Structure 1
């Protein structure tokens, strides 16, 4: 067995493996679309496990940037994890992850994220859920409208949408946590994949301040007032509350076309735009998974609350990234941290008083802001050894906002 990254020569074999893994309902290998330029780029980011030049399994590692606790982190976005059924349950994916984590660390991809087919499968590799997906369904006739004089909605074509929407996104992105930087290629894929009518909201001066994509789901005529025909909003960002109100004004104007609006959202302040909050329906389910690849780097890179001045010490275990199996001494001052690490087998550890013990999955949730220190203590995912209050203060829960799928 050998590991190597795929080349353009491997595109056909890669495409056949992807067809069986991700589109088995096709029931054949016919009509596989090959885009040589696109697929050649994909191949070079895909680590394969080969036996006599036969591709047994592969994992794709895309190079992303994630905004996490006040800083941008180079991120391994893991996708296209595939293994033929005749090769499964033989440890091939485990071998690929072990090699891939080493490559991530060498490439300074010190955090990683993925969208799972099954959460327990990836938990054993140190990934844990870091954000929830949420869809809010709003009856269109329950939307509040208010006059917004200096912001106008404009239905636009793709090029204008890209130019204006990317400006809005870049202006607001650092107001959120756990959100990805978007390159021009990523925007092209978003525009291609997210079908719908594209609106930009402009101030009188011509500056874009909000955007939305309206996707009209199939309409089935019924006299029933509970008709579930909806408009789906997959993309929706705004710079100011006034711009947000302008979007809701536009949505209300669709009450003769659709009875419901579905918003794929991370927004917890939607009730201010609704007449009767009891009319809202929320669907919440687990979303993206996340893991830290290099704990020392991440602890030193992220920003901490300004009010914190103190230190804590903890023991970390990581079954797949041995460089993380250490004791960490973290000193925080002026929103930054100085981190010293000591291997578990060092004689110096005998003199260290630990505040807590944690594994890499739980540390990843803590730093991502999905769960806080006290919640992890309660679930016994943190073993607490002292009454030091600093750990419970330095990692407040965040509203995580990933909106890009890979």
Structure 2
């Protein structure tokens, strides 16, 4: 797609996703396409039949920052559905992302089984607690909560977020534009918790609608900060009847509530796909072995042929030292055989090797060492949406 096709793209988006944009919003959307997206379209007689957008983004993976392609805005006119347009666009997107140096791709699926056919696998979940102010104990903390504007405390929020994001895998490395356009909205309230010395130790982003309070992000670096932010929620007891809190998978504060018997809904959220296996393994940060380790992956990838085959990966001193495509290999410590979906789930930590084996998704021969003894994978998580 080129700029002359953007009006058609906006029109298709409005129809497919059932919303309407004002003229100003249409101009803003087309500017984003021009400046921040790689736009792919499939045409029939000069009419845009289907489209998708690749967002060049960056994520945290252990100590690494990894460029990745976020796939979004996938849409087809109903009269052109089930005729191969999206198949062709996804294949083109994989080649485009490889050329751009993106070793990983992520997307929010409209139908999980559809994207599994193209090598994507579920890697991220949302964790939502439903509670009321009465469920929260009364806390007395040494610090205090302060309502702030994003521009006023931008650096503080970005640091708190980055500290949290680096504890997980697949969390986005947000730039200022993303914070301002995709994270913070006009109706949001930002609360930062400070200790007695004035150090920021946590934050939340909330919006209130009628008698419901929704917490979009809840980050804390100490028990005092957690309790201080929870007390801020409790102080809405005369204003709201219900609270939804979007949490991280490692959070366990519900145990300490007055009423721990609150619903926790875990729901599949984003899917990921390794685009360039060789490039991805060269930066893979989760191997902890100091001694030399040789891993052999027999990989099947129907839609990215460059990934197919046997890959011998050598790690030493926790770093990838060599990636080579081979016909045969000797002195291998662990052999893996699977498709790109299961290898993605394993390497990104969304599913354990044991479970993948139990459900017949991977064949493994641990010849000399165990995978769990040489790897330590940060649990994947994602606050954002695209």
Distance 1:350 1:284 in 2: 41
What's the offset of the Cα at 1:397? Answer: 5.5
Distance 1:356 1:239 in 2: 38
CA RMSD across the alignment? 2.4
Q: Which of 204, 226, 246 pairs up with 1:244?
A: 226
Q: Which of 149, 152, 163 pairs up with 1:160?
A: 152
Note if contact 1:161-1:199 (Cα within 8 Å) is conserved in structure 2: no
Name whichever of 258-267 and 70-79 sits farther off.
258-267
**Is structure 2 residue 43 aligned with structure 1 residue 64?**
no
Distance 1:138 1:338 in 2: 49
Partner of 2:314: 331
- Please, which runs of 5 or more residues in structure 1 have no aligned partner? 220-229
Partner of 1:13: 8
Distance 1:318 1:387 in 2: 25
- Return the TM-score normalized by structure 2: 0.90
- Return the TM-score normalized by structure 1: 0.86
What's the offset of the Cα at 1:38? Answer: 4.1
**What SS does the corresponding residue of 2:328 show, helix, strand or coil?**
helix
**Structure 1 pair 189/350, CA: closer, same or farther in 2 (3 Å)?**
closer
1:86-101 equivalent positions in 2, closer than 5 A = 86-101=79-94
Distance 1:329 1:239 in 2: 40
Over residues 157-207 of structure 1, what are the superposed CA-to-partner deviations in whole Å (9 max), with x where a residue is unaligned? 342254432232133321222210111111112455473322122344444
Note if contact 2:42-2:51 (Cα within 8 Å) is conserved in structure 1: yes
**Is structure 2 residue 366 aligned with structure 1 residue 405?**
no
Q: Which of 124, 131, 138 pairs up with 2:131?
A: 138
Over residues 308-366 of structure 1, what are the superposed CA-to-partner deviations in whole Å (9 max), with x where a residue is unaligned? 633221200111111111211122222112343326xxxx4387978231111111111
- Please, which runs of 5 or more residues in structure 2 have no aligned partner? none
**Is structure 2 residue 248 aligned with structure 1 residue 268?**
no
Alignment length, in residue pairs?
381
Note if contact 1:6-1:48 (Cα within 8 Å) is conserved in structure 2: no
What's the offset of the Cα at 1:35? Answer: 3.8
Distance 1:59 1:99 in 2: 10
What's the offset of the Cα at 1:386? Answer: 5.1
Distance 2:243 2:358 in 1: 38
Distance 2:206 2:323 in 1: 50
